[in-house]
Amino acid sequence: MYLAGFALGWLGARSRAKKPGSLIRPEHIDDIVFYVALGTIVGGRLGYMFIYGLSELIADPLSLLKVWQGGMSFHGGFIGVLTAMWLYARHIKQPFFVVMDFVAPWTAFGLCAGRIGNFINGELWGKPTSPDAWWAVIVDGQARHASMLYEAFLEGVVLFLVLWLYSQKPRPTMAVSALFLIVYGVSRFAVEFVRVPDAQIGYLALGWVTMGQVLSLPMIIVGVIMWIVAHRRVDKA
């Protein structure tokens, strides 16, 4: 699923880079995909272990390397990609948000593929629902929400369409990145209501607040602030 996401992102990014006026050129794409892949995998694993598996990491530091047992965090991968793109932006002497605005739409392929992978693996099932509901998936005899497919649709299909359509025209620098944070953050926050939280953490407050929501809320807030700042810069110019 990771390979599928990276391959589709590579194809899409190359197509966009060939358009007149693009500050990211086709010869940059191979390196960008490599940096994104590295940031996703390293950041995703580190993020999961520090956020969701800290006790396991303390008891067995080598568990960090046991990727075959599963355990990748979007928020950790996101920080990893930010770090990788910051380094690459410096390398090609482009502003950080120019690179991130270019990359943002294509990350949706990886997010969608990853959630489909969760479904194939039979992990991250949602809460119980009515057995008569058309959306129900039967797991061990119990009807549940297929929360990973909801996320594949919202964080993958919807996120890509919104960002791709919006970025078809020139936009203020940082605006596409801001929209990514807002759409992803809202999508993830919403799906958490029907997703079973990680067993080792459970609910953090009020019987419904999850770690995913706690980590997504700052993304929404920062995205809104970035959106306002990006458009105010244009107005002042």
Tell me, letter by letter, the H, E, C secondary structure of 74-138: HHHHHHHHHHHHHHHHHHHCCCHHHHHHHHHHHHHHHHHHHHHHHHHHCCCCECECCCCCCCCEE
* Cα dihedral 77, 114, 157, 187 in deg (nearest 10): -60
What mean pLDDT comes out for the span 74-94?
90
Task: Give me the chain's average pLDDT, please.
Answer: 89
* Placement of tokens 């801001």 in the chain: 178
Neighbour count for residue 222 (Cβ, 10 Å): 15
Q: In this model, does residue 176 exceed pLDDT 90?
A: yes
Q: How confident is the model at residue 237 (pLDDT cuts 50, 70, 90)?
A: low
Is a pLDDT exceeding 70 seen at residue 235? no
Q: Which residue has the higher pLDDT, 63 or 92?
A: 92
The per-residue pLDDT for 127 is: 92
166-195: average pLDDT: 94
Instruction: Encode pLDDT of 86-138 as tens digits.
Output: 999 999 999 999 999 999 999 999 999 999 998 998 888 899 999 889 989 99
Contacts of 19 (CB under 8 A, 6+ apart): none
Percentage of the chain modeled with pLDDT above 70: 98
- Residue pair 2/44 in contact (Cβ under 8 Å)? The answer is no
- Tell me which residue has tokens 């390398």: 91
Q: What is the pLDDT of residue 123?
A: 83
Q: Give the Å distances, CA to CA, from 121 to 115, 117, 148, 183.
A: 10, 6, 11, 26
Look at 24 and 54; give whichever has higher pLDDT: 24
Average of pLDDT values for 194-222?
Answer: 85
Residues 71-97 have a mean pLDDT of 89
pTM score? 0.86
> pLDDT for 144-165, tens place per residue?
999 999 999 999 999 999 999 9
